[in-house]
């Protein structure tokens, strides 16, 4: 798509200079949640699977990454990768059980499993329970480069994010991605074409879990701590909100959604409860009035304008015929 290439050409230089103008930790938080929201959109937007407990992959990987960095000399990128792999395996186990039920039931099963995982993290000794896991070191990148400085680390996070978004883009635009969308739209038909929809969905679930894990591992290294909050239910809800606000099943939607919600949270942090209430209000407004989300509505608007221009063009073309 030429347009997305054009957008990428504008976005990348902006992202490169961003830390000179904005607080780098906020930017890194946004990037982590961009990856997380993309992973969620792969599931809900492109496969029609509503996972209501995505935080278990995010928070779980944060703990695993943190634990590895604290207890082993493993380099940073490998630790994050291990976090992702852990989440992928967790996704495989839970997916195998949950994919047997569909729709809302799937959502509730994933919610219950995430609570299960939450309690396990609460009671295991390595996570630090209610106190969380503190002082996670940022081991040298590739065992060579020191990334303890936030303004340097930003570029590492940015690189990982770009790779993840690119992978997400490739998945969605691959033949497999097409099958995934077909399963979402008409599962019996896909089945009649000789695909096994359960396996297609399970793969999507595992891929999404892995990506959410990488996001979580990254967040643990950004903040240098991992807490129960990362694995808790409000985070699962927040990522739903980001995806829905940005636009379900759109490529760039989750990116905008994550940016808007993180900045809003940042802005409303001092107002306590109002942050949650505003999230509820935004969710309601999006559901009732803008179900296509931010990017989806813009897309529809652009298509509408293009359609009108095309329509007037055909009328113009007809004009001479009518006058003659």
Partner 1 sequence: MFDGISTQLLLGQVLIGLINGSFYAMLSMGLVIIFGMMHVINFTHGAQYMLGAFCAWLLLNYLGIGYWPSLVLAPFAVALFGIFLERVLLRPLAGLDHLYSLLATYAVALIVEGLVRIQYGSTGLPYDNPIPGGVNLGFMFMPYYRLWVVAFSVVTCVGTWLLIDHTKLGAYLRAANENPQIVQTFGINVPKLMTLTYGFGVGLAGLCGVLAAPIYQVSPSMGSSLMIVVFAVVVIGGMGSIIGAVATGYMLGIVEGLTKVFYPEAASVVIFLFMTVALYLRPQGIFSGREAN
Contact residues for partner 1, defined by CB under 8 A: 44, 50, 97-98, 100-101, 103-105, 107-109, 111-113, 115-116, 119-120, 122-123, 233, 237, 240, 244, 272-274, 276-277, 279-281, 283-284, 287-288, 291
Closest CB 116 distance from partner 1, rounded Å: 4
Closest CB 144 distance from partner 1, rounded Å: 42
Residue 112 or 310 having the CB closest to partner 1: 112
Q: Are 197 and 191 in contact (CB under 8 A)?
A: yes
Q: CA 276 to CA 271: how far, in whole Å?
A: 10
Residue 19 or 257 having the CB closest to partner 1: 257
Closest alpha carbon to 47 in 186, 195, 216: 186
Residue 115 or 150 having the CB closest to partner 1: 115
Alpha-carbon radius of gyration of the chain:
21
Could you tell me the two tokens for 74? 């493993």
Closest alpha carbon to 205 in 36, 34, 61, 47: 47
Residue 109 or 158 having the CB closest to partner 1: 109
Closest CB 245 distance from partner 1, rounded Å: 11
Closest CB 302 distance from partner 1, rounded Å: 24
Closest CB 246 distance from partner 1, rounded Å: 14
Residue 252 or 279 having the CB closest to partner 1: 279
Closest CB 123 distance from partner 1, rounded Å: 6
Could you tell me the two tokens for 270? 């001092």
Closest alpha carbon to 294 in 239, 257, 241, 251: 257
Could you tell me the two tokens for 185? 């739209």
Residue 170 or 291 having the CB closest to partner 1: 291
Q: Are 206 and 92 in contact (CB under 8 A)?
A: yes
Q: In Å, how far from its chain's centre is CA 154?
A: 18
């Amino acid at each position: 798509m030429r347009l997305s290439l054009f957008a990428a050409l504008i976005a990348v230089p902006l992202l490169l200079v961003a830390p000179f103008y904005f607080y780098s930790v906020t930017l890194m938080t946004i990037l982590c949640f961009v990856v997380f929201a993309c992973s969620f959109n792969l599931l809900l937007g492109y496969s029609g699977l509503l996972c209501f407990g995505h935080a278990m992959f995010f928070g779980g990987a944060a703990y695993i990454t943190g634990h590895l960095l604290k207890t082993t000399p493993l380099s940073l990128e490998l630790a994050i990768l291990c976090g992702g792999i852990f989440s992928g395996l967790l996704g495989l186990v839970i997916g195998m059980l949950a994919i047997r039920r569909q729709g809302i039931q799937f959502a509730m099963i994933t919610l219950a499993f995430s609570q299960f995982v939450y309690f396990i993290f609460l009671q295991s000794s390595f996570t630090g329970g209610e106190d969380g896991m503190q002082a996670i070191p940022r081991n040298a990148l590739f065992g060579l480069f020191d990334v303890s400085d936030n303004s340097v680390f930003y570029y590492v996070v940015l690189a990982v994010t770009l790779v993840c978004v690119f992978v997400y883009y490739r998945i969605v635009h691959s033949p497999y991605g097409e099958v995934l969308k077909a399963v979402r739209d008409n599962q019996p038909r896909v089945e009649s074409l000789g695909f096994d929809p359960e396996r297609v969905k399970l793969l999507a679930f595992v891929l999404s879990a892995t990506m959410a894990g990488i996001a979580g591992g990254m967040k643990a290294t950004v903040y240098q701590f991992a807490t129960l909050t990362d694995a808790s239910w409000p985070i699962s809800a927040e990522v739903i909100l980001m995806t829905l606000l940005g636009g379900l099943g759109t490529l760039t939607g989750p990116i905008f959604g994550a940016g808007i919600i993180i900045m809003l949270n940042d802005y409303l942090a001092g107002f306590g409860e109002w942050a949650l209430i505003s999230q509820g209000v935004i969710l309601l407004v999006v559901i009732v009035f803008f179900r296509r989300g931010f990017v989806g509505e813009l897309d529809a608007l652009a298509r509408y304008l293009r359609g009108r221009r095309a329509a007037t063009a055909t009328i113009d073309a007809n004009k001479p015929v009518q006058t003659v």
